[in-house]
């Protein structure tokens, strides 16, 4: 296959001139800034943020061993998902292919932008079937969304199937690695030079514990990153987020320690759930959550809420019917969950 980025980008996006902010027009340092209509009195946040997030990108690039030119930062990965769809998909004409069940935002963003969603089933082991995905694509398919580890099933998708898609599909393959830090796997970042159509999404919302800051990473060729930069809101990452993320990224050892604890907790929880009467299935997980199948998921969900415990009800998942997705918590939280589940499952209504 040949990959032609110019042909993939929407014509209006290719032709447009991006907004030029005050901070783009003047990039030196000055003693008097009267160019952006800011309040001149000294408040903590009176000045606009760096639209290019230079300091933050330098730090993240060093951590991920990439170049800043290969990195786009979004107000959560959700912003990057939306911008990818808006950059490449002509509303009412183009489509995106999404193996299901998976994270709901790909579909929501596509539908918000009047872009057709073509669902394909994952296999019974929640793996991607490359042949089925390719058979669903046509000349108007611009993006394939893969989520690995997949939400809500927790498993990594197979490398062979992803490689086949990257090699055969002339559009863009997005791999959402929101949970990659919980796996032992290296992920796809190092394979970026080999695949011009590869886009990787990561986030500080999960392993890094910064969901409230809203910072998502999109890693791709500099050509693809330039397209996203062209259409992003100029000040999409606010000053507080840039400062606080920069600070947190100074201490990767905290993240690594917490991830190790959560993985241990996950494996214990997996083991206990497998031995719990009334839990029909526990799906193996590489992430910080576990998917389980029980006989009446809706009622179990309700009865957990009555005990003050909230989990996610995931409806009609492939062959498995209604399931519950359990986020791995602290050891105490997981213990409460297990005791409540044991009680509920041993006293059917």
Ligand X SMILES: *Cc1c(COP(=O)(O)O)cnc(C)c1O
Tell me which DSSP letter residue 98 carries.
E
CA distance 138 to 147: 21
Tell whether residue 154 is a contact of ligand X (CB under 6 A): no
Tell whether residue 216 is a contact of ligand X (CB under 6 A): yes
Angle (CA) 224 70 45, round 5°: 100
According to CB under 6 A, which residues from 280 to 299 bind ligand X? none
Cross-strand partners of 118: 97
Tell whether residue 153 is a contact of ligand X (CB under 6 A): no
| Among the residue ranges 200-208, 220-228, 272-280, 319-327, the one whose residues contact ligand X (CB under 6 A) | 200-208
Tell whether residue 103 is a contact of ligand X (CB under 6 A): yes
Tell whether residue 211 is a contact of ligand X (CB under 6 A): yes
For ligand X, the binding residue among 98, 147, 156, 219 (CB under 6 A) is 147
Cross-strand partners of 325: 291, 312
Cβ closest to ligand X, residue 285 vs residue 344: 285
For ligand X, the binding residue among 53, 70, 77, 285 (CB under 6 A) is 77
Angle (CA) 20 173 211, round 5°: 65
Residues 6+ apart with CB under 8 A from 218: 71, 72, 73, 74, 77, 80, 84, 199, 200, 201, 225, 228
Cβ closest to ligand X, residue 82 vs residue 322: 82
Which two three-digit tokens encode residue 45?
């946040």
According to CB under 6 A, which residues from 160 to 179 bind ligand X? 176, 178
Tell whether residue 76 is a contact of ligand X (CB under 6 A): yes
Smallest distance, ligand X to C-beta of residue 83, A: 12
Smallest distance, ligand X to C-beta of residue 205, A: 3
Q: How far is CA 41 from each of CA 26, 38, 80, 300, rounded to the nearest angstrom?
A: 21, 9, 34, 56
| Among the residue ranges 70-78, 155-163, 184-192, 228-236, the one whose residues contact ligand X (CB under 6 A) | 70-78
Q: Give the count of beta carbons closer than 10 Å to the beta carbon of residue 118.
A: 16
Whether residue 279 contacts residue 294, with contact meaning beta carbons closer than 8 Å, is answered with yes
| Among the residue ranges 75-83, 188-196, 248-256, 303-311, the one whose residues contact ligand X (CB under 6 A) | 75-83
Tell whether residue 212 is a contact of ligand X (CB under 6 A): no
Residues that bind ligand X (CB under 6 A): 76-78, 103, 147, 151, 176, 178, 203, 205-206, 211, 216
């Amino acid at each position: 296959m040949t990959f032609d980025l110019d042909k993939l980008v929407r014509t209006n996006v290719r032709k447009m001139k991006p907004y030029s902010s005050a901070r783009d027009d003047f990039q030196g340092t000055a003693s008097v800034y009267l160019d952006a209509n800011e309040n001149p009195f000294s408040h903590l946040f009176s000045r606009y943020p760096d639209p290019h997030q230079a300091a933050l990108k330098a730090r993240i690039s060093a951590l991920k061993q990439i170049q800043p030119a290969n990195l786009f930062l979004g107000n959560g990965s959700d912003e990057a998902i939306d911008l990818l769809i808006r950059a490449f998909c002509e509303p009412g004409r183009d489509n995106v292919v999404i193996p299901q069940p998976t994270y709901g935002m790909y579909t929501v963003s596509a539908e918000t932008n009047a872009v057709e969603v073509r669902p394909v089933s994952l296999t019974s082991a929640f793996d991607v079937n490359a042949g089925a995905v390719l058979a669903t694509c046509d000349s108007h398919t611009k993006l394939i969304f893969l989520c690995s580890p997949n939400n809500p099933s927790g498993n990594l998708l197979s490398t062979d199937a992803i490689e086949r898609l990257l090699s055969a599909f002339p559009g863009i393959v997005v791999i959402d690695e929101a949970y990659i830090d919980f796996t032992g796997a290296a992920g796809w970042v190092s394979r970026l030079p080999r695949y011009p159509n590869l886009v990787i999404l990561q986030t500080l919302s999960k392993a890094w514990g910064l969901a409230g800051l809203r910072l998502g990473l999109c890693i791709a060729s500099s050509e693809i990153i330039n397209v996203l930069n062209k259409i992003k809101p100029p000040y999409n990452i606010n000053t507080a987020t840039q400062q606080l993320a920069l600070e947190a990224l100074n201490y990767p050892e905290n993240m690594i320690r917490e991830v190790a604890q959560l993985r241990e907790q996950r494996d214990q929880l997996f083991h206990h759930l497998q031995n719990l009467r009334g839990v029909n299935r526990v799906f193996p997980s590489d992430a910080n959550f576990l998917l389980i199948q029980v006989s009446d998921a809706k009622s179990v969900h309700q009865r957990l809420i009555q005990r003050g415990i909230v989990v996610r009800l995931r409806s009609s998942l492939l062959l498995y019917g209604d399931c519950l997705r359990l986020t791995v918590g602290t050891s105490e939280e997981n213990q409460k969950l297990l005791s409540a589940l044991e009680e509920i499952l041993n006293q059917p209504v």
